[in-house]
Amino acid sequence: MDRKISLTGIKPTGSLHIGNYFGAIKPALELAKDYDARYFIADYHALNTMKNPAELQSCIREVAAGWLASGLDPDRVIFYRQSSIPEVFELATMLMAFTGKGLMNRAHAYKAIVQANNEKSSDPDAGVNMGLYTYPVLMAADIILFDSDVVPVGKDQVQHIEMAQDIARAVNANYRRDVLKVPQAAVREQAAVVPGLDGRKMSKSYGNAIPLFADEKQLRKLIMRMVTNSQAVEESKDPDQSQIYLLYKLFASAEEQAALAARYRAGGMGWSEAKEELFRVVNRELAPLRGRFEAIIADGEGLDRVLARGAEKARPIAAATVTRFRRAAGIDL
């Protein structure tokens, strides 16, 4: 029996960090165990905010290499760049004919910009380009094109899947047959919350992130900067209230977690020693990833070949969906 299809979009937004690794990359790669998994670099989506060509190209390559270094196996899954699949844009154009403007007006990202502009007494559409406004249609095309059964998303992204469902159903209702598969959202309820250097959730926007592929020296320096309280060395400490320990748990074995928690509670261990323990387990897991990442980045032609092979596998699937739609619409007779 054929496995269901999952689709994961990866926006190239700069260097990956540990929060991305546990919150997005690892859960997404787990899908390959149970689904026919497809992953794509959403480079055209990135154009809405990233206009510097050198920066965009660098981000595309870093993110692609980062996912490959983290365990994405291009021989087991389909991995491609969105811009390598022209059928995405043909399908998006056809879907536009079935998408109401009112639906686009309700998109969260667009509404947030309008609200911010209204609060500043600016033109409601200031700073809104058509790429941002029609973003949900292009995303729907990304999803629908590959007959996706499920799309893993956080709760804040469910609206995008609901819009894709609405558009696909409008097409199917018009032609009175199942021209397009209606996707479902696979909501990640238990995404790991990774503490940053200052104790808040790790995020580039907070400036508290630890880069996933930082070299050993930089990694140790960042970990030693983690914010702690003023408890003395001899005091007993609650591991579950320590950001150092919470991050440690993501990298350490159950036995290591229990041993370090006991040392916290017994007293006699200072924060610098706890940070050294954290560095040890983090570096142990990330050093092999760092080595693979550096090798992939150094072999630019090899990375291009990986993405080109992914596009070769993706395009026949995409073409079949577009042909099915064109025939239903009366364009291909």
Catalytic sites, residue numbers: 120, 201, 204
Show the tokens assigned to 200: 């808040």
Query: Measured between alpha carbons, how far is 55 from 28 in angstroms, rounded to an integer?
Result: 25
H-run or E-run covering 10: strand 5-10
Structure-derived torsion over alpha carbons of residues 157, 162, 165, 170, reported in degrees to the nearest 10: -130
Strand 150-153 vs strand 36-41: parallel, antiparallel, or unpaired?
unpaired
Give, rounded to a whole angstrom, the gap between the first and last alpha carbons of the chain. Answer: 33
Query: Measured between alpha carbons, how far is 182 from 162 in angstroms, rounded to an integer?
Result: 10
User: Is 12:60 a contact under the CB 8 Å cutoff?
Assistant: yes
One-letter amino acid identity for 45? H
171: Cα within 13 Å, side-chain hemisphere: 29
Structure-derived torsion over alpha carbons of residues 89, 92, 96, 100, reported in degrees to the nearest 10: -140
User: Is 208:236 a contact under the CB 8 Å cutoff?
Assistant: no
